Structures are given as C-alpha cells and as structure tokens.
C-alpha cells in the first residue's frame, strides 16, 4: 500500500522522464516533510555520482526519500508496536502513547485523532490504522516536540499584580547593532514586539523642527523620529501577545518637546494608551496583565500623585511643567550618563581637536532639579520611574506603582551580598536591570541570576545573538510566548525567605533523565565540502547556583545527516521552577575547538515526557 501511495504522489512529476535537483526539492516539499537542501543535494549527488547525467528516475527518488525520511530510530520504534511491522492499529497506537509518551489517558478517540491528522494514505486512514509514513509524520510533528503542548498557549493565572510576573524586556530597542556608531532603526521595535517583548526602551532627545528624536545620546548612532517609533509600536504592539506593553522612556527632552511626545503618544496610540487608573484612583496593588490587556503603559518620571494627575485630565495643562529633585549621582533611568562618560573618555582621547571633552567625575549626592512637562507626567499611571536609593529606603517610602532601574554591576553585588532584601524588594516593586555602559558592542549579561531574585524587567540587547538571548527566548517560550511568566510562589509571597544561594525548604528536587537518541539533518560543518560534521551535544541546566551544571555527549564522526548517540544523562534539579535546560550541538573541529551548529533552550517544567 505504501508503495502504491508513494508512486501515485510522485508519478506525475516523472511523466517526461527524469527530474533534476530543483524538481527533486519541489517534490519532497509536496510530500510534506522537512528537508534540508544541503543534505538533499549531497544525497542527490551521491546517487548520480557514477553517471554522466544530472537527473534521476523514480527509483532513485524513492531511494533518496528513504535515506532521509525513513530514520532507523523511528523504524525500530514502529516495529516494537506493530505486530506485522507494516501497520499500527488504533490499539497499538494507544499502547505506544501510554508506554512511550506517558499519556495515561490515551483512548481510541486520541488514537483516531492522530490517524486523521497524520496518516497520508487514504485507504489506511479509512481502516483506522496508521502506516509507517503516518508514524514518521506524527513523530516529526509539534505534538511530539520536547516542549509541552499545553505550554504553547497562555495557561498561567494572569490575574495577579503586574509585579508578580517576569516580563520580556529589551534594552535600547532602537539599536540594531553596536552602541556607539551603529544604526538606529524602527526594525528594532518591530522585531522585538514580534518576538513577544513587552517592555521597550526609547531614548528621547530634542530634535530639529520641534520633532523629538530617538538615538543613543552623545554617540554617533543614527537618529529616528519619536513619532515614527510610536507609529510602529501602535501597529505591532499586540500582534504576538494581547498583554500590556510598557514604554520605558529615557527622557532627555526639553519640556517643550516632552509636550510634543505626550501629544504623539495620545494621538497615535489612541485608546491603546493607558491614561487613567482602572477602577479606583487609590490602590494598594498593581492591576494584573489581564486587566491591562491591549494597553500601552508609559514608564517615566512623574510629578505629584496619580490622583492629582487624574483631576487634571479634563483641563488643558499645555505649557505647565513640574520639577523633581534628585541626587545627581547617576540617576537610574539616565543610563546615558554612564554611557556618556564612557564614550567621551574614548572619544576625547582619540580626537583631541574634537569639541567633546572628558567630563570630570561628579561629586556624589549633589541635588539637581529636572523639569517635566505636566502633559507627559500625567500619562504615567502604574509605572512611575523612581530613583533607587536602597532597599531600606524603598521599603519605607516607595509606593506600589513606583519602580526602579538598577545597573547590572550594582545588581550583581546585591545578588551576592543582600539577596534576601533583593527578593523582598522585587516581591513588592517592579525592578528593571540594564546592561553596563561598557558593553559598547551590545554584548549581554546572563539574565538568570536576576530572574533568580525575582527581577521582572531584565533588559537585554535583543539584536545580539548568543547564550544570553537564547536563555531569554527559551524562558519566554513558556505561557504561549505572551511575554509574561508568573513568578514561582516563593518570589511572590510576602513571607518568603527564599534566596537563590540557600534554597532550603523551597527546594522541590526533581530527577531528570534524558536519553539522547539521535540527530537529523544537522547543519554541516563549515569545514566540510559535503554534508559532514563531527557533532557532539552539550546539555546544560541554568537556574539557582546549585542547579547550574553541564554534561556532554561523545562525538559522532563525520555524520550530520543522522548521527546516533543513544546515551543517558541524569540530573537532579533543586528548584525546577526557575531552571532552564539548553541543548547545544557543536561540531568538533579539533581537540580544543568546537563550532556552534545549533541549540534549543526551554524551561525544565516545560519538558514533555516521552
């Protein structure tokens, strides 16, 4: 039956005789299986190796298809459950689901659903059976992915206060390259939003013709219009997720251009912009992501209280400004101060004739006044930027809608020396972490240590690939990729005494055994003229310090098409709620160097058994 079906699908393509490589690729796509061009090309070339011509016949095509699709490990599994080695009845599928996939409640209905969805041969489907072709398609589908199916949708409680969630956050979102001379681009905002990012950063400066601009101040990065940034955000804010977007403004504009910003925010975002509280103007906890669905929040400094701002809503406050006084040692939202000094130092030493000069270090705690336009101030509701002084100061003075930004260096010291106070702080207040100014190449820090203490907005440079962004992407695959992940109970409960270095009673040890079976159509090595590589796999756990560990497999020589390991790995994870697991495939180039081939990262609790 399989053979007849296969011929019926492909024969039309061979009506004029033989086919070339391009037609082979098209025909493979018609068979609805994922194919890698490099591997197909190599197997195709091997097939025609001894011949003068560059085309293949039906039998050749079938051989190529089998080489790539009929994986030995699938066939072994299929035969283990198929009494005749040719077909699986619904009862065989049920047994497979229960024994191999740990689906204890699998029924005839489940089995028939799989047959209907994946069996390509109509005759077999009608008999409520599954052929090897159907089995391969099922095993290669998302249903059999290592990532739990029900975690692909929003499944967590979205009715808790905003500070109870990890929130996907980007740093200097407008930059698509480095931090000093690279381009600023609207694509930075589009791509971050399409990846589910929910907190974007906008550095605003006075531009010509009363048009505020967005760029990395005091550097040579190019400028884009604030208005254009807001238009892009309006268009893409809720494509990947319905949950609120926070605009973190690093505001360097004059009061006059701040008013222009406020006008653009209101006119372009319209109803999407949150301009008043939901419900009471007096509140003791932040609203939930659910309550703020499809809303855009402005995070900025604010003058006075929310109530005062609400009373002003219907009055025209254009031309009015307020003042905030804060100590002049690095203001938290003005990350640029830190970057400026850095850039000026390097710039002034290179170009003495330039007008940029090195600024003398400021004395600490000199007070400075900052003018804020009332129309912009009044758009800040639940996300008021407040200078971080100390944990104690926050505990005594900070309101639930006030949040802090802390640089990675200072935050790392807190993790090391005052983790309990840090956790206690993030239980109550939204806390944003940002990269240090010396990361001029847009490199990233490891986000895990800040998630471990409950920091909600751990801002990374989304444009820079690497392990750090892979951890970010892996963590936020969870909960339907909506950009909000409910923190574990011990990072939400006010009585918690949890610290990452001493998990104590918050440990829920989990035994994790992983069988590394095989790889399929891996990217070939850069050193290979054909489709070869010497792959090995690293399995890494990221989490609280006690859980950080990595193990590696043996190397399979010169096989990227179908390497086979069949190795077991065992881990004990103390705090699975915070743990991520990363599978990284490398090509062993020499005894001391490996080349990255690919990786997949996901939360440990999103691992699917089977």
Distance, in Å, from the CA atom of 346 to the CA atom of 604, rounded to the nearest integer, reads 43
Distance, in Å, from the CA atom of 434 to the CA atom of 405, rounded to the nearest integer, reads 7
3-class DSSP assignment, residue 115: helix
Q: What are residue 167's phi and psi, to 5 degrees?
A: -125, 125
Contact of 374 with 315, CB cutoff 8 Å: no
Active site residue 501: no
Q: What are residue 225's phi and psi, to 5 degrees?
A: -75, 135
Contact of 507 with 575, CB cutoff 8 Å: yes
Distance, in Å, from the CA atom of 396 to the CA atom of 75, rounded to the nearest integer, reads 65
C-alpha closest to that of 450 among 440, 462, 460 = 460
Contact of 232 with 189, CB cutoff 8 Å: yes
Q: Report DSSP state, residue 27.
A: H
With a cut of 50, which residues of the chain have pLDDT below it?
A: 331-333, 337, 339-362
Give me the half-sphere count of Cα atoms (radius 13 Å) on the Cβ side of residue 497.
3
Q: CA 576 from chain center: how many Å?
A: 19
Distance, in Å, from the CA atom of 497 to the CA atom of 538, rounded to the nearest integer, reads 34
Distance, in Å, from the CA atom of 479 to the CA atom of 462, rounded to the nearest integer, reads 20
Contact of 516 with 523, CB cutoff 8 Å: no
Residue linked to tokens 């251009």? 257
C-alpha closest to that of 256 among 191, 211, 192 = 211
With left for phi above 0 and alpha for psi between -120 and 50, is residue 304 left, alpha or beta? Answer: left
C-alpha closest to that of 585 among 528, 515, 524 = 524
| Each residue's pLDDT tens digit, 370-392 | 999 999 999 999 999 999 999 99
Contact of 531 with 561, CB cutoff 8 Å: yes
Report pLDDT for 357: 37
Residues in the chain: 610
Give me the half-sphere count of Cα atoms (radius 13 Å) on the Cβ side of residue 157.
8
Helices and strands (DSSP H and E) totals, the chain: 20, 21
Q: How many CB atoms are located within 10 Å of the residue 424 CB?
A: 20
Q: Which domains does the chain have, with CATH numbers?
A: 3-69 (1.10.238), 72-144 (1.10.238.10), 162-311+367-491 (3.20.20.190), 507-606 (2.60.40.150)
Active site residue 216: yes
C-alpha closest to that of 276 among 300, 307, 302 = 307
Report pLDDT for 328: 62
Distance, in Å, from the CA atom of 553 to the CA atom of 195, rounded to the nearest integer, reads 31
State the catalytic residue, choosing from 171, 218, 425, 520.
171
For 239-272, b/e burial (b = at least 16 CB within 10 A) is ebbbbbbbbbbbbbbebebbbbbbebbeebbeeb
Contact of 252 with 336, CB cutoff 8 Å: yes
Distance, in Å, from the CA atom of 511 to the CA atom of 508, rounded to the nearest integer, reads 10
Both tokens of residue 485? 């992940």
**Alpha helices of 72-167 — where are they, by DSSP H?**
72-81, 90-99, 108-118, 122-126, 132-139
Report pLDDT for 334: 54
Contact of 194 with 239, CB cutoff 8 Å: yes
Which residues lie below 8 Å from residue 135, measured CB to CB, with a gap of 6+? 74, 77, 78, 88, 118
State the catalytic residue, choosing from 39, 42, 216, 218.
216
| Each residue's pLDDT tens digit, 179-218 | 999 999 999 999 999 999 999 999 999 999 999 999 999 9
Distance, in Å, from the CA atom of 263 to the CA atom of 318, rounded to the nearest integer, reads 10
Contact of 238 with 287, CB cutoff 8 Å: no
The gap between the terminal CA atoms of the chain, to the nearest Å, is 29
């Amino acid at each position: 039956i399989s053979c007849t079906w296969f011929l019926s699908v492909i024969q039309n393509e061979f009506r004029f005789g033989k086919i070339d490589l391009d037609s082979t690729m098209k025909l493979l796509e018609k068979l609805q299986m994922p194919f890698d061009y490099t591997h197909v090309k190599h197997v195709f070339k091997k097939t025609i190796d001894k011949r003068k011509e560059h085309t293949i016949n039906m039998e050749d095509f079938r051989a190529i298809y089998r080489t790539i699709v009929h994986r030995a490990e699938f066939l072994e599994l299929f035969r283990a459950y198929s009494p005749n080695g040719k077909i699986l009845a619904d009862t065989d599928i049920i047994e497979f689901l229960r024994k191999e996939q740990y689906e204890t409640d699998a029924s005839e209905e489940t089995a028939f659903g799989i047959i209907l969805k994946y069996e390509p041969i109509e005759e077999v489907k009608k008999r409520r059976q599954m052929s090897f072709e159907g089995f391969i398609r099922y095993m290669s589908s998302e249903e059999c992915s290592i990532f739990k199916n029900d975690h692909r949708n929003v499944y967590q409680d979205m009715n808790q206060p905003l500070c109870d969630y990890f929130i996907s956050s980007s740093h200097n979102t407008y930059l698509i390259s480095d931090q000093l001379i690279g381009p600023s681009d609207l694509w930075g905002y589009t791509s971050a939003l399409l990846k589910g990012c929910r907190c974007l950063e906008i550095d605003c400066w006075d531009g010509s013709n009363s048009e505020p601009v967005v760029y990395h101040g005091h550097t040579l990065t190019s400028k884009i219009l604030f208005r254009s940034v807001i238009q892009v955000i309006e268009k893409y804010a809720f494509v990947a997720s319905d949950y609120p977007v926070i605009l973190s403004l690093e505001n360097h504009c004059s009061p006059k251009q701040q008013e222009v910003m406020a006008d653009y925010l209101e006119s372009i975002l319209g109803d999407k912009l949150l301009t008043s509280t939901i419900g009471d103007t007096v509140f003791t906890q932040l609203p939930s992501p659910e309550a703020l669905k499809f809303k855009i929040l402005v995070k900025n400094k604010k003058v006075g209280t929310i109530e005062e701002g609400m009373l002003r809503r219907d009055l025209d406050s254009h031309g009015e400004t307020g003042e905030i006084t804060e100590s002049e040692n690095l203001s938290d939202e003005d990350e640029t101060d830190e970057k400026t000094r850095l850039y000026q130092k390097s710039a002034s030493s290179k170009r003495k004739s330039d007008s940029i000069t090195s600024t003398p270090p400021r004395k600490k705690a000199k007070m400075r006044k900052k003018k804020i336009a009332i129309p912009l101030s009044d758009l800040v509701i639940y996300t008021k930027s407040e200078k971080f002084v100390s944990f104690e100061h926050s505990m005594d003075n900070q309101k639930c809608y006030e949040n802090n930004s802390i640089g990675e260096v200072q935050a790392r010291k807190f993790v090391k020396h005052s983790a309990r106070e840090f956790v206690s702080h993030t239980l109550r207040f939204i806390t944003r972490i940002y990269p240090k100014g010396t990361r001029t190449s847009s490199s990233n820090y490891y986000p895990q240590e800040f998630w471990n203490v409950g920091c909600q907005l751990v801002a990374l440079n989304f444009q820079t690939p690497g392990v750090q962004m892979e951890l970010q992407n892996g963590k936020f695959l969870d909960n339907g990729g909506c950009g909000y992940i409910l923190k574990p109970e011990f990072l939400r409960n006010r009585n918690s005494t949890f610290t990452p270095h001493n998990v104590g009673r918050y440990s829920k040890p989990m035994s994790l055994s992983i069988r590394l079976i095989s790889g399929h159509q891996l990217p070939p090595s850069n050193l290979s003229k054909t489709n070869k590589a010497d792959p090995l796999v690293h399995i890494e756990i990221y989490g609280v310090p006690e859980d950080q560990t990595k193990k590696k497999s043996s190397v399979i020589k010169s096989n990227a098409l179908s390497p086979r390991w069949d190795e077991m790995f065992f881990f004990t994870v103390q705090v699975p709620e915070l743990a991520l697991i990363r599978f990284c495939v490398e090509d062993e180039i020499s005894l001391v160097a490996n080349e990255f081939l690919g990786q997949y990262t996901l939360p440990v609790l999103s691992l699917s058994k089977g």
